[in-house]
Structure 1
Amino acid sequence: MVKRNLLRLLNNLRRFNGEVVQIHISYFENFELEILFAVSDLRQIFVRYQIQFHPSSSVIMSQRAVLNCLKFSLVATLLLILQPVFSQTKKSTAPSLFPDLESAIEPRRKDLGGDLMVYVANRDTVVYQKAFGDVNNRTQAPAGAASTWFTTALVLQLVDEGKISLDDKVTQYLPVYGSYYKSYITVRHCLTNTTGIKAEPFKTANVHEMARFASLEEEVANYAKIDIAANAGDAYNYNGMGTNIAARIVEIVTKKKFEQLMRQRIFTPLGMRNSTFASDDGSAPNPAFGAKTTAADFIRFLQMILNNGVFAGKQILSEKAVAEMRKIQVESSRMNGVSKAFAGLEQTLGVWAIEGSEKVGASASALVYPSLTGVWPMVDFSRGYAFVLLPKTFTGEQNSNVYMGLKQVFDEKWKGRKNDAR
């Protein structure tokens, strides 16, 4: 019945002078059905429907379309498709797909923030989502340091377009840095915490104590005046300054504000409608630590990375850019003084390797970005899945063993799914 009605919808869509290039349907345990239609014509129409079934049987529908010419027949046909699903959803008593994962999370919930959302996906489908406590898939939470992963993707888009090189000197875009003996810092140094700019050891409290600036331009100009503690590339010092410098360079090259660029180039193409870098107090955005997002949004970003830069048929990043992101840049043996959340990890370009090699230039098989806010996004290329754990509130510093224990549980569950790995 569902299949037959879906074919009717395809025929209706073809009337709008376009060709259906992809249909993505996700059916979740908490009674949410999400359908993404990508229709290709000269104006790239994207239609998205999201229907949530509540225990009280109420239905909430929302529609976003680029064109207003989509007629009522489209909606009617969609409802025909969903007709047999209403009763199926309400009666669903299917057991959890990952009981072992839930059993592993429950005793750790207090350490993980209490209220948290978990998503798991393969390359094209969300295969599991679970709300623990007072959260849902629209609960927005701070991404903390994992914000850097979004910013790195934005920088790599400009690299793909030939507008920036990772080995460009920052003085090419920010001449003031040359006046303060920082001529040798490159964009790559900025994304690997090796600028050599002096910074206090990073602590949980730093996230809340950072100075507020009116603009990213003002903030990055202020960094130029800070003393150099080591030659660029010689020493590792985890902090957010390099990420913010790289983000400011993107602003200079494109002549657009960082928030606008992130929305236009990353969030909107990925359908991350509940993600933003806008600050609550109107101060400058913080590309290193300032994103707010949902688990439902973050998993889309991770699927794009897992698919070598492709999401819903659209190339967000080049395969070469993702390969660059996976390369080990700094061995763990050089990363002295890092938070225990990063213990045993190795620095890649703007993110971290879980299963990599001590050899610089080697490709990591799994990437992660732990955050002091408690978010834990991870992509496992060798097994073909992505995972994100997003707490509702700030949890503070966590030992990496807590998260790695969860990954081990999930890896066991994922065994045998050969079609997901590439």
Structure 2
Amino acid sequence: MHNPPADGDPVAAAAVDAYPRIVATLIRVTGDWALAEDCAQDALAAALERWPRDGVPDNPGGWLMTVARNRAVDVLRRAAVERRKVQEIAVLTPAEEAVPGELDDRLRLIFTCCHPALPLEARVALTLRTICAVPTADIARAFLVTESAMTRRLTRAKSKIAAAGIPFRVPAGRALTERLPGVLAVLYLLFTQGYNADGEPAFADEAIRLARLVERLMPGQPEVPALLALFLFQHSRRAARRGADGELLTLDRQDRGRWDHAAIAEAVEVLRRVTADGPYALQARIAACHATAPSPDLTDWARIAACYDRLAAAQPSPVIELNRAVAHGYAYGPREGLALLAAVRALDGHPHALAVEADLTGRLGEHARAAELFRRAAAAAHSDEERRALSARAAEWHLRGSTDAPDGGAGAS
């Protein structure tokens, strides 16, 4: 035993690492999702009670696995479940947490939580709860529902897995190729839930952790490291996204000294391993252009525009077309950007589209028109923070009395 660190919570640290492994292993052995979660939670409760008194074990994960395993054995015996299951789980040892089979269990759990038979929101919630051990109350807050409502959603998702006979396995061959994008889409949405201005930062951290895990367990899948690189590039700016008064800052206005340059360096190395140019790889290459530019004025907008051209061809969407218009506006002039923006009819009246039009218009020297468009964008904004940021841009263009050199844009934050 050793004493817990004074500045950390050893149970929480062990839970982050061990909880999903314990749940995955017990699900595989018992076939009972609820039993696996209950036993893992009982083990954590036991740790909360005993570790402050007895000290943290040298192998916290092994200790938790042993307690959870013993609890499962007791429950199965009391329920008179067939002897085979009792014997199978009884032979599990703490050492098994490091063997390849246990790592496979974790990957099986990820694919089960992200099964396409479940609604997308349920996949994200189940991933947060089962794999990341995020409390149900925190998940409910992120999805703007009550804790009881989220508990019911999670219960329905688990019941559907059991009723539909969704297999606890990683698909192979063509099925893996078809299913992996769905898993990555869940991680992307999970990251977005944490990266958004009003999101839960811990969710972005969990998405990065899971992306690292999936990359380790599935080498040779190029979109997995591409997604990890994208997360790292984006997350590197978190500390700089707000000004002294808490206002949101667009990328060009951020203090680059506050960016996480270690994360950027890691992302660059990860991206070097990606040779294919799938959707996540293209997004990561765009993010790399922003993250590695010495200053906003030296951003390689031509390369960004080329990446958006390829991304729009491979995965067309109004949001991609909007960003493509921004990139072309900086690479080839605001008139080029406005011409592309005019074709994005699906986002007419959307605050982001109005902000892009405002910036491009202002860069043409039409200051009053730019101010009016920014005011319209502020009125349509989805949050108070976004509304304040857009209103501030409207005020800037209103006060501008001459055609200054471009000093910013409606770029990403």
User: TM-score when scaled to structure 2?
Assistant: 0.26
- Whose helix fraction is larger, Structure 1's or Structure 2's? 2
Quick check: which has more Rg, 1 or 2? Answer: 2
User: TM-score when scaled to structure 1?
Assistant: 0.25
Structure number with the bigger relative contact order (C-alpha 8 A, sep ≥ 6) is 1
